[in-house]
Structure 1
Amino acid sequence: MRLSRSLAPVTVAVALVLFLPYEAMPYARVDDGKPPAPNLFGASCRTTVRGSQVVAYCHNPYADIDRVRLHIECARWWDIDTDSAPVDTEPAMTVRLAGRCWKEVRSVWISHQREH
């Protein structure tokens, strides 16, 4: 009889440890020496210039929405440079941006803005 009374507290302790959630159990944290992972952001874009026409495709592989804009600088001083309206590129989405100059295109770039 004495043996069963001494096993009762041990049995209760083992049952509590087995049924506690993992987060509640103490465990050693291991620091691997690496900095924390960066918060990845930004759609990857590719642009094509054909004559005076510009087309850009932007694909967002990340979880945050990326607001992209197409900027076109024209080669002629009298030709008006253009900036597209901002377009929200949601996760796993590809958007198309287009614009043009009257004559030649000097440069093209895409700006990115994190949506809040």
Structure 2
Amino acid sequence: MRLSRSLAPLTVAVALVLSLPYDAAPHAPARGGGAGAPQPFGAACRTAVTGSHVVAYCHNPYADTDRVRLHIECARWWDIDTDSAPVDAAPALTVRLTGRCWKEVGSAWISHQKVR
């Protein structure tokens, strides 16, 4: 079987490009690898509510320190909502945050702040 005259040069060019070493071959830069790309950030947090007590564990797998705070909103109108003191979760570190209401907990969440 013969290749047509217009397809033969294309086939030779593809064969030559595929035979080049990876470093010599033209290729697009990896996605997200540019200097202006944002770096991953933020500790992964697990929050558990048991009665009127809240416990949160935050693990920071990234290189930047994450300042985390536990916020608790109590279910009763007369119960005081609380915010914990900020705690720095350094790289590869797990921190524990606790808080409570007098009665039931309405909601609890974690806030994150990048430490510069």
TM-score (norm 1): 0.72
Matches within 5 A, 1:1-116: 30-32=27-29, 34-36=31-33, 38-116=38-116
Q: Which residue of 1 aligns with 2:8?
A: none
Q: CA, structure 1 residues 33+71, in 2 after alignment: closer, same or farther (shift >3 Å)?
A: same
Deviation at 1:76, TM superposition (A): 0.3
Judging by fraction of residues, say which structure has more helix: 1
Rg comparison, structure with higher value: 1
Distance 2:112 2:76 in 1: 26
Aligned letter for 1:71?
H
Distance 2:93 2:31 in 1: 31
TM-score (norm 2): 0.72
Distance 2:30 2:47 in 1: 39
**What value does the CA root-mean-square deviation take over the aligned residues?**
1.8
Distance 2:96 2:108 in 1: 14
Deviation at 1:31, TM superposition (A): 1.4
Of 31-40 and 45-54, the range deviating more from structure 2: 31-40
Residues 61-111 of structure 1: per-residue CA shift (max 9 Å, x gap): 000000000000000000000000000000000000000000000000000
Deviation at 1:53, TM superposition (A): 0.3
Residues 21-68 of structure 1: per-residue CA shift (max 9 Å, x gap): xxxxxx776314734364100000000000000000000000000000
The alignment covers a number of residue pairs equal to: 90
Structure 2, unmatched stretches of 5+, are 1-23
Runs of 4+ aligned structure 1 residues displaced above 6 Å come to none
Structure 1, unmatched stretches of 5+, are 1-26
